[in-house]
Amino acid sequence: MAAKKAKPGPAGKTLGSKKSWQGRLTADADAATAEFVSSLDVDRAMWKYDIIGSIMHAQMLSEVGILTKRELATIRRGLMSIADDIGADKLDMPVELEDIHMVIEKALIVRPGAAGAKLHTGRSRNDQVALDLRMWARDAAYDLVQGIVELQRALVGLAERQGEIVMPAYTHLQRAQPILAGHAVLAYVEMLQRDADRLADARRRINVCPLGSGAVAGTSLPLDRNRSAKLLGFDSVARNSIDATSDRDFLAELCFACATLAVHLSRWAEDWVIYSSTEFGFIELHDAYCTSSSMMPQKKNPDTLELIRGKAATAIAQLVGMLTLLKGLPLAYNRDLQDDKRFALAAVRPMMQSLAVAAGIAGTARFRAEHIAETLDAGYLDATALAEYLVGKGVPFRQAHHIVGSLVARAAAAGKPLAKLPLDELRAASDLIGPDVYKHLGAANVVKRYAPQGAAGPKQLRRQLNFWRKKLA
């Protein structure tokens, strides 16, 4: 079947008329092309940054004598009225205008006062877009850090309430050693802190002003780039105009930070999906963060945790998409970069949602202390402690490991925990074992004896909680 021919766009309906904007081109794009090249469906989210950037650009132009104070006032007044219209969803955004930057500029020009046509002096859409993206990314990094802090506070609160509960730690999803529940919770607080630090560090590289770089080579007009940067809250200006207009490393870095955050949230969600199952029964999730089954009335499904786990796929996909977009671009700006926002926005938005929901989950969940205690002796969690007891008696660790392995096999055959084996059976494996061994056996005794900084015992937990209280205050 032959493809339908696209209808040509109506003459005179684009940027009123678009022919006056497209230089050497003599024909308007047809409807299919106009829709294809438009990014309004995505970059309209940048409108506030475009308004702010335009106002401060005009301010700088006025200060260097390119605009009069009256022209500046007209431009500022016009841009603020456009902001009001966009906020009220009253501004027409025809697809033929291609992007939010052209929409705003067109709206400014048709408003009273001829000064609007001067706003683009010394500026290209290339450095304008780069500016808006950097301002958006700067705020996104900040907002993500705030979301991380709220989740950290919720997790620390849980560790304060129920952190002293003794539970198993796992390696290979097999019972390993006893720990305090708070220690497991704070492991994720540590991961999240690295995410926050990574975003804060990325924000330093984001916070560089590209304005004044023009399309690729700058301009002959006497722009004050440092003044523009100061007005817009940037730490510095981009040194190279070619790099300034084509650089999207800062977005790739933001996407990477989101992907790593997503992996950490996904690991936490997976743990709690497992812990909240009937088979484990370690954690009780609040009903507000669960759903039932459409068929099975007994079900309480941890859907929010599963969705957080699922959002990691989105974040990782956006990082791969961003890097793939950039990998083959020659210097400097290329239209491929129009799609950079699709990846960046789609990386940040799910992470903001996930963090908000995760904080609610963590703030309302509780450990099921009684149920955890019922099965705490299973899995011989104190075997390593028994080996270390023998090390304290002078036995080489590898020999102690072998001795305890044989005792575990004997206890398993008898259906008993190590702490229930009679002393004579323990001494049959090593005559260095004395009555004091029972102070070392049992999960509760083990956690009390953890010695190094950062271990899973009560002294270490108290120190960690004290650190996080101050850090997150």
* Model pLDDT for residues 29-73, shown as the tens digit of each residue: 788 999 999 999 999 999 999 999 999 999 999 999 999 999 999
What's the average model confidence in pLDDT over 307-313?
98
Query: Is 101 part of the annotated catalytic residue set?
Result: no
Residues 248 and 156 in one domain: yes
Residues 452 and 410 in one domain: yes
Question: What digits encode the pLDDT tens for the residues 225-279?
Answer: 999 999 999 999 999 999 999 999 999 999 999 999 999 999 999 999 999 999 9
Within-domain flag for 240:
yes
Are 148 and 261 in contact by the 8 Å Cβ rule? The answer is yes
pLDDT at 473 over 60: yes
pLDDT given for residue 8 in this prediction: 40
Mean pLDDT, all residues of the chain: 94
Q: Which residues contact 284 (CB under 8 A, 6 or more apart)?
A: 276, 365, 366, 367, 368
Within-domain flag for 174:
no
User: What's the rounded Cα separation, in Å, for the pair 450 and 369?
Assistant: 21
Residues 251 and 192 in one domain: yes
> What confidence tier does 338 reach under pLDDT thresholds 50, 70, 90?
very high
pLDDT at 21 over 80: no
Question: What digits encode the pLDDT tens for the residues 89-111?
Answer: 999 999 999 999 999 999 999 99
pLDDT given for residue 2 in this prediction: 40
pLDDT given for residue 24 in this prediction: 64
pLDDT given for residue 3 in this prediction: 38
Within-domain flag for 5:
no
Phi, psi of 255 (to 5 degrees): -65, -40
Within-domain flag for 208:
yes
- Catalytic pick among 236, 292, 293, 406: 293
Are 461 and 180 in contact by the 8 Å Cβ rule? The answer is yes
The enclosing domain of 438 has a CATH number of 1.10.40.30
In the chain, how many domains are there? 3
Residues 157 and 79 in one domain: no
- Three-state DSSP state, 2: coil
Which residue bears the tokens 């083959």?
A: 328
pLDDT at 339 over 90: yes
The enclosing domain of 51 has a CATH number of 1.10.275.10
Of residues 162, 168, 170, 145, the one with CA closest to residue 465: 162
Residues 108 and 230 in one domain: no
pLDDT given for residue 131 in this prediction: 98
User: What's the rounded Cα separation, in Å, for the pair 137 and 117?
Assistant: 28
Tell me which of 373, 393, 424 is where a domain ends. 373
Residues 90 and 104 in one domain: yes
pLDDT given for residue 293 in this prediction: 85
Residues 230 and 359 in one domain: yes
Ramachandran category for residue 172: left, alpha or beta (phi over 0 → left; psi -120 to 50 → alpha):
left
Beta strand pairing call for 208-209 and 236-237: parallel
pLDDT at 346 over 80: yes
pTM (2 decimals)?
0.92
pLDDT given for residue 30 in this prediction: 81
Within-domain flag for 171:
no
Question: What digits encode the pLDDT tens for the residues 143-183?
Answer: 999 999 999 999 999 999 999 999 999 999 999 999 999 99
pLDDT given for residue 13 in this prediction: 37
Tell me which of 353, 373, 393 is where a domain ends. 373
Tell me which of 308, 343, 373 is where a domain ends. 373
Residues 131 and 235 in one domain: yes
What's the average model confidence in pLDDT over 343-354?
98
Residues 272 and 367 in one domain: yes
pLDDT given for residue 22 in this prediction: 58
pLDDT given for residue 298 in this prediction: 86
pLDDT given for residue 380 in this prediction: 97
What's the average model confidence in pLDDT over 317-338?
97
> What confidence tier does 6 reach under pLDDT thresholds 50, 70, 90?
very low
The enclosing domain of 212 has a CATH number of 1.20.200.10
> What confidence tier does 87 reach under pLDDT thresholds 50, 70, 90?
very high
Within-domain flag for 11:
no
Question: What digits encode the pLDDT tens for the residues 195-231?
Answer: 999 999 999 999 999 999 999 999 999 999 999 999 9
Residues 144 and 81 in one domain: no
Dihedral sign of CA atoms 155, 161, 163, 169 in order:
negative
Within-domain flag for 3:
no
pLDDT given for residue 14 in this prediction: 38
Residues 111 and 157 in one domain: no
pLDDT at 415 over 50: yes
Domain that holds residue 461: 383-471
Query: Is 402 part of the annotated catalytic residue set?
Result: no
Q: Which residues contact 8 (CB under 8 A, 6 or more apart)?
A: 28, 30, 31
Please state, for a pLDDT cut of 70, what percent of the chain lies above it. Answer: 94
Residues 387 and 424 in one domain: yes
- Catalytic pick among 172, 213, 236, 371: 172
Within-domain flag for 6:
no
